[in-house]
Amino acid sequence: MDDSRETLGPNAFVTGFPIRHSRSPLIHGYWLKTLGLPGSYRAHEVAPDVFPDFIASLKDGSSGFIGGNVTIPHKELAFRLADKPDDLAHELGASNTLWLEDGLLHATNTDGRGFTANLDERHPGWDRHDTAVVFGAGGASRAIIQAVRDRGFKEIHVVNRTVERARELADRFGPRVRAHPVGALAEVMHGAGLFINTTSLGMDGEAAPLIDFAPLAADAVVTDIVYVPLKTPILRQAEQQGRPIVDGLGMLLHQAVPGFEKWFGKRPVVDAALRALIVADM
Protein backbone atom coordinates (compact mmCIF):
# COMPACT_ATOMS: atom_id res chain seq x y z
CA MET A 1 0.00 0.00 0.00
CA ASP A 2 1.27 3.43 -0.94
CA ASP A 3 0.77 5.31 2.34
CA SER A 4 1.48 8.77 0.91
CA ARG A 5 -1.40 8.32 -1.50
CA GLU A 6 -3.60 6.90 1.24
CA THR A 7 -3.33 10.01 3.39
CA LEU A 8 -4.04 12.34 0.46
CA GLY A 9 -7.40 11.07 -0.70
CA PRO A 10 -10.44 9.11 0.41
CA ASN A 11 -9.89 5.61 1.76
CA ALA A 12 -12.30 2.79 0.88
CA PHE A 13 -12.43 -0.88 1.87
CA VAL A 14 -13.81 -4.25 0.94
CA THR A 15 -14.76 -6.29 3.94
CA GLY A 16 -15.83 -9.89 4.36
CA PHE A 17 -14.78 -12.96 6.29
CA PRO A 18 -12.52 -14.22 4.83
CA ILE A 19 -11.58 -11.48 2.36
CA ARG A 20 -8.13 -12.39 1.03
CA HIS A 21 -9.47 -13.85 -2.25
CA SER A 22 -11.36 -10.70 -3.20
CA ARG A 23 -10.44 -9.22 -6.56
CA SER A 24 -11.98 -5.85 -5.69
CA PRO A 25 -8.66 -4.24 -4.58
CA LEU A 26 -7.23 -5.05 -8.02
CA ILE A 27 -10.23 -3.46 -9.77
CA HIS A 28 -10.33 -0.25 -7.72
CA GLY A 29 -6.54 -0.01 -7.62
CA TYR A 30 -6.50 -0.13 -11.43
CA TRP A 31 -9.05 2.69 -11.66
CA LEU A 32 -7.29 4.87 -9.06
CA LYS A 33 -4.04 4.47 -10.95
CA THR A 34 -5.34 4.93 -14.51
CA LEU A 35 -7.51 7.91 -13.52
CA GLY A 36 -4.64 9.41 -11.52
CA LEU A 37 -6.78 9.92 -8.42
CA PRO A 38 -5.52 10.14 -4.84
CA GLY A 39 -6.95 7.67 -2.35
CA SER A 40 -6.81 4.01 -1.47
CA TYR A 41 -8.94 0.88 -1.59
CA ARG A 42 -7.94 -2.13 0.44
CA ALA A 43 -9.15 -5.46 1.80
CA HIS A 44 -10.08 -5.18 5.47
CA GLU A 45 -11.06 -8.44 7.11
CA VAL A 46 -13.71 -8.12 9.84
CA ALA A 47 -14.98 -11.12 11.83
CA PRO A 48 -18.77 -11.38 12.21
CA ASP A 49 -18.79 -10.71 15.98
CA VAL A 50 -17.04 -7.34 15.56
CA PHE A 51 -18.81 -6.21 12.39
CA PRO A 52 -21.19 -3.91 14.33
CA ASP A 53 -18.14 -2.25 15.97
CA PHE A 54 -16.60 -1.74 12.55
CA ILE A 55 -19.80 -0.09 11.27
CA ALA A 56 -19.87 2.13 14.38
CA SER A 57 -16.29 3.25 13.69
CA LEU A 58 -17.27 3.97 10.08
CA LYS A 59 -20.19 6.13 11.21
CA ASP A 60 -18.21 8.11 13.80
CA GLY A 61 -15.31 8.67 11.39
CA SER A 62 -12.72 6.93 13.52
CA SER A 63 -12.13 4.14 10.95
CA GLY A 64 -10.67 6.61 8.45
CA PHE A 65 -12.79 5.12 5.67
CA ILE A 66 -15.32 7.02 3.55
CA GLY A 67 -17.11 3.81 2.58
CA GLY A 68 -16.58 0.49 0.95
CA ASN A 69 -17.83 -2.83 -0.32
CA VAL A 70 -19.28 -5.57 1.81
CA THR A 71 -19.34 -9.23 0.93
CA ILE A 72 -20.15 -12.61 2.49
CA PRO A 73 -21.16 -12.95 5.32
CA HIS A 74 -21.83 -9.27 6.14
CA LYS A 75 -24.29 -8.11 3.44
CA GLU A 76 -27.49 -8.51 5.49
CA LEU A 77 -26.06 -6.88 8.61
CA ALA A 78 -24.60 -4.02 6.56
CA PHE A 79 -28.09 -3.31 5.27
CA ARG A 80 -29.60 -3.42 8.77
CA LEU A 81 -26.95 -1.20 10.36
CA ALA A 82 -26.90 1.48 7.64
CA ASP A 83 -28.71 4.77 8.32
CA LYS A 84 -30.04 5.20 4.78
CA PRO A 85 -30.43 2.05 2.72
CA ASP A 86 -31.93 2.82 -0.72
CA ASP A 87 -34.92 1.02 -2.28
CA LEU A 88 -32.79 -1.65 -3.98
CA ALA A 89 -31.12 -2.60 -0.69
CA HIS A 90 -34.46 -2.55 1.12
CA GLU A 91 -36.08 -4.96 -1.29
CA LEU A 92 -33.14 -7.37 -1.14
CA GLY A 93 -32.53 -7.00 2.58
CA ALA A 94 -28.81 -6.89 1.79
CA SER A 95 -26.20 -4.33 0.81
CA ASN A 96 -22.80 -4.60 -0.89
CA THR A 97 -21.90 -0.89 -1.11
CA LEU A 98 -21.69 1.68 1.72
CA TRP A 99 -20.75 5.36 1.77
CA LEU A 100 -20.84 8.27 4.18
CA GLU A 101 -22.79 11.31 3.04
CA ASP A 102 -23.78 14.28 5.23
CA GLY A 103 -22.76 12.29 8.30
CA LEU A 104 -25.06 9.35 7.51
CA LEU A 105 -24.16 5.87 6.34
CA HIS A 106 -25.87 5.15 3.01
CA ALA A 107 -26.25 1.67 1.53
CA THR A 108 -27.19 0.18 -1.82
CA ASN A 109 -26.83 -3.07 -3.68
CA THR A 110 -25.03 -2.94 -7.03
CA ASP A 111 -25.07 -6.65 -7.99
CA GLY A 112 -28.15 -6.30 -10.19
CA ARG A 113 -26.77 -3.24 -11.95
CA GLY A 114 -23.53 -5.16 -12.55
CA PHE A 115 -25.51 -7.98 -14.09
CA THR A 116 -27.50 -5.79 -16.49
CA ALA A 117 -24.53 -3.58 -17.42
CA ASN A 118 -22.53 -6.68 -18.37
CA LEU A 119 -25.29 -7.94 -20.67
CA ASP A 120 -25.86 -4.45 -22.12
CA GLU A 121 -22.17 -4.30 -22.99
CA ARG A 122 -21.71 -7.83 -24.31
CA HIS A 123 -25.07 -8.59 -25.89
CA PRO A 124 -27.25 -5.52 -26.55
CA GLY A 125 -30.88 -6.49 -27.08
CA TRP A 126 -30.71 -9.31 -24.50
CA ASP A 127 -33.75 -7.81 -22.78
CA ARG A 128 -36.18 -7.91 -25.69
CA HIS A 129 -37.82 -11.10 -24.37
CA ASP A 130 -40.57 -11.55 -21.78
CA THR A 131 -39.45 -14.76 -20.08
CA ALA A 132 -36.28 -15.59 -18.17
CA VAL A 133 -35.07 -18.73 -16.39
CA VAL A 134 -32.96 -18.25 -13.27
CA PHE A 135 -31.19 -21.42 -12.16
CA GLY A 136 -30.42 -21.18 -8.42
CA ALA A 137 -32.03 -19.40 -5.48
CA GLY A 138 -29.16 -18.16 -3.30
CA GLY A 139 -28.12 -14.61 -2.42
CA ALA A 140 -26.84 -13.79 -5.90
CA SER A 141 -30.05 -15.03 -7.45
CA ARG A 142 -32.12 -12.45 -5.55
CA ALA A 143 -30.32 -9.44 -6.98
CA ILE A 144 -30.54 -10.91 -10.46
CA ILE A 145 -34.27 -11.61 -10.23
CA GLN A 146 -34.78 -8.00 -9.10
CA ALA A 147 -32.67 -6.66 -12.00
CA VAL A 148 -34.35 -8.82 -14.64
CA ARG A 149 -37.79 -7.87 -13.34
CA ASP A 150 -36.87 -4.18 -13.35
CA ARG A 151 -35.73 -4.54 -16.97
CA GLY A 152 -39.25 -5.58 -17.90
CA PHE A 153 -39.25 -9.39 -18.00
CA LYS A 154 -42.82 -10.46 -17.31
CA GLU A 155 -42.24 -14.08 -16.30
CA ILE A 156 -39.24 -15.20 -14.29
CA HIS A 157 -38.92 -18.91 -13.55
CA VAL A 158 -36.66 -19.74 -10.62
CA VAL A 159 -35.47 -23.34 -10.66
CA ASN A 160 -33.65 -24.69 -7.62
CA ARG A 161 -32.52 -28.01 -6.11
CA THR A 162 -34.15 -26.94 -2.84
CA VAL A 163 -37.49 -25.76 -4.16
CA GLU A 164 -38.43 -24.10 -0.85
CA ARG A 165 -35.70 -21.49 -1.42
CA ALA A 166 -37.13 -20.73 -4.86
CA ARG A 167 -40.59 -20.39 -3.27
CA GLU A 168 -39.25 -17.88 -0.75
CA LEU A 169 -38.02 -15.74 -3.65
CA ALA A 170 -41.34 -16.06 -5.49
CA ASP A 171 -43.11 -14.90 -2.32
CA ARG A 172 -40.71 -11.99 -1.97
CA PHE A 173 -41.01 -10.76 -5.55
CA GLY A 174 -44.66 -11.47 -6.33
CA PRO A 175 -46.59 -13.07 -9.18
CA ARG A 176 -44.09 -12.44 -11.97
CA VAL A 177 -41.66 -14.84 -10.26
CA ARG A 178 -42.47 -18.57 -10.12
CA ALA A 179 -40.69 -21.37 -8.30
CA HIS A 180 -39.91 -24.80 -9.75
CA PRO A 181 -37.96 -27.96 -8.88
CA VAL A 182 -34.98 -28.93 -11.07
CA GLY A 183 -37.10 -31.58 -12.79
CA ALA A 184 -39.15 -28.78 -14.41
CA LEU A 185 -36.14 -27.15 -16.07
CA ALA A 186 -36.83 -28.31 -19.64
CA GLU A 187 -40.46 -27.33 -19.37
CA VAL A 188 -39.87 -23.77 -18.10
CA MET A 189 -37.08 -23.20 -20.62
CA HIS A 190 -39.58 -23.57 -23.44
CA GLY A 191 -39.57 -20.31 -25.40
CA ALA A 192 -37.63 -18.40 -22.71
CA GLY A 193 -35.32 -15.63 -23.93
CA LEU A 194 -32.68 -15.66 -21.19
CA PHE A 195 -31.02 -18.38 -19.09
CA ILE A 196 -28.95 -17.39 -16.08
CA ASN A 197 -26.93 -19.80 -13.97
CA THR A 198 -26.63 -18.43 -10.44
CA THR A 199 -25.69 -21.75 -8.82
CA SER A 200 -22.14 -22.63 -7.91
CA LEU A 201 -22.25 -25.58 -10.32
CA GLY A 202 -19.18 -25.63 -12.56
CA MET A 203 -17.16 -23.29 -10.34
CA ASP A 204 -13.36 -23.85 -10.33
CA GLY A 205 -13.64 -26.52 -13.02
CA GLU A 206 -16.06 -28.79 -11.17
CA ALA A 207 -18.46 -30.79 -13.30
CA ALA A 208 -21.91 -29.41 -14.12
CA PRO A 209 -25.05 -31.30 -15.14
CA LEU A 210 -25.92 -31.68 -18.81
CA ILE A 211 -28.46 -29.10 -19.90
CA ASP A 212 -30.37 -29.18 -23.17
CA PHE A 213 -30.80 -25.57 -24.29
CA ALA A 214 -32.91 -26.52 -27.35
CA PRO A 215 -36.24 -25.47 -25.76
CA LEU A 216 -35.06 -21.82 -25.42
CA ALA A 217 -36.11 -19.17 -27.93
CA ALA A 218 -33.92 -19.14 -31.05
CA ASP A 219 -31.98 -16.00 -30.05
CA ALA A 220 -31.92 -16.61 -26.27
CA VAL A 221 -28.74 -15.68 -24.40
CA VAL A 222 -27.13 -17.97 -21.81
CA THR A 223 -25.13 -16.35 -19.04
CA ASP A 224 -23.42 -17.45 -15.82
CA ILE A 225 -22.46 -15.49 -12.74
CA VAL A 226 -19.57 -17.86 -12.07
CA TYR A 227 -16.43 -16.42 -13.74
CA VAL A 228 -13.75 -18.92 -12.72
CA PRO A 229 -13.25 -20.41 -15.23
CA LEU A 230 -14.40 -17.68 -17.61
CA LYS A 231 -16.09 -20.22 -19.82
CA THR A 232 -17.89 -22.40 -17.29
CA PRO A 233 -19.07 -25.93 -18.13
CA ILE A 234 -22.62 -24.56 -18.47
CA LEU A 235 -21.51 -21.82 -20.89
CA ARG A 236 -19.39 -24.28 -22.85
CA GLN A 237 -22.38 -26.57 -23.31
CA ALA A 238 -24.56 -23.67 -24.43
CA GLU A 239 -21.95 -22.53 -26.93
CA GLN A 240 -21.60 -26.04 -28.32
CA GLN A 241 -25.35 -26.01 -28.81
CA GLY A 242 -25.08 -22.81 -30.86
CA ARG A 243 -26.25 -20.35 -28.20
CA PRO A 244 -24.85 -16.84 -27.65
CA ILE A 245 -23.12 -16.76 -24.26
CA VAL A 246 -21.99 -14.00 -21.89
CA ASP A 247 -19.50 -14.81 -19.12
CA GLY A 248 -19.82 -13.48 -15.57
CA LEU A 249 -16.59 -11.49 -15.25
CA GLY A 250 -18.23 -8.28 -16.46
CA MET A 251 -20.80 -8.49 -13.66
CA LEU A 252 -17.98 -8.38 -11.10
CA LEU A 253 -16.37 -5.42 -12.88
CA HIS A 254 -19.56 -3.43 -13.47
CA GLN A 255 -20.92 -3.90 -9.93
CA ALA A 256 -17.83 -2.04 -8.73
CA VAL A 257 -18.56 1.11 -10.78
CA PRO A 258 -21.20 2.85 -8.58
CA GLY A 259 -19.13 2.50 -5.39
CA PHE A 260 -15.98 3.88 -6.99
CA GLU A 261 -17.92 6.88 -8.26
CA LYS A 262 -19.36 7.55 -4.77
CA TRP A 263 -16.02 7.33 -2.95
CA PHE A 264 -13.65 8.88 -5.45
CA GLY A 265 -15.94 11.20 -7.42
CA LYS A 266 -15.31 9.94 -10.92
CA ARG A 267 -17.18 7.34 -12.95
CA PRO A 268 -14.69 4.65 -14.01
CA VAL A 269 -14.80 2.63 -17.24
CA VAL A 270 -14.73 -1.15 -17.55
CA ASP A 271 -12.17 -1.59 -20.32
CA ALA A 272 -10.33 -4.47 -21.96
CA ALA A 273 -7.14 -3.83 -19.96
CA LEU A 274 -9.05 -4.23 -16.68
CA ARG A 275 -10.58 -7.48 -17.89
CA ALA A 276 -7.13 -8.73 -18.90
CA LEU A 277 -5.71 -7.77 -15.49
CA ILE A 278 -8.31 -9.84 -13.63
CA VAL A 279 -8.02 -12.77 -16.03
CA ALA A 280 -4.23 -12.78 -15.54
CA ASP A 281 -4.80 -12.99 -11.77
CA MET A 282 -7.08 -16.06 -11.97
The span from the CA of 154 to the CA of 132, in Å, is 8
Check residue 199 for interaction with ligand ATR (CB under 6 A): yes
Q: CA 131, CA 190: separation in Å to the nearest integer?
A: 9
59 to 98: interface string for ligand ATR, x by CB under 6 A: ----------------------------------------
Q: For residue 140, which of 205, 56, 225 has the smallest C-alpha distance? A: 225
Q: 120-127: which pairs have CB atoms within 8 A and are 24 or more residues apart? A: 121/250, 121/254, 121/270, 122/246, 122/250, 123/221, 123/244, 123/246, 126/193, 126/194, 126/221, 126/246, 127/151, 127/152, 127/153, 127/194
Among 140, 143, 216, 226, the residue binding ligand ATR under the rule CB under 6 A is 140
Q: Is 236 annotated as a binding residue?
A: no
User: According to CB under 6 A, which residues from 144 to 173 bind ligand ATR?
Assistant: 160-162, 165
Classify residue 214 by burial, with Cβ atoms within 10 Å: 0-12, 13-18, 19+: exposed
Q: Which of 63, 146 has the CB closer to ligand ATR?
A: 146
User: Nearest approach, Cβ of 80 to ligand ATR (angstroms)?
Assistant: 17
200 binds ligand ATR (CB under 6 A): yes
Contact 238, 245 (CB under 8 A): yes
Segment near ligand ATR (CB under 6 A), from 4-12, 77-85, 136-144, 248-256?
136-144
Is residue 75 flagged as an active site residue?
A: yes
Q: Indicate whether 223 belongs to the interface with ligand ATR (CB under 6 A).
A: no
| Binding residue positions | 22-24, 71, 87, 96, 111, 136-140, 160-165, 225, 227, 248, 255
Q: Which residues bind ligand ATR (CB under 6 A)?
A: 136-141, 160-162, 165, 198-201
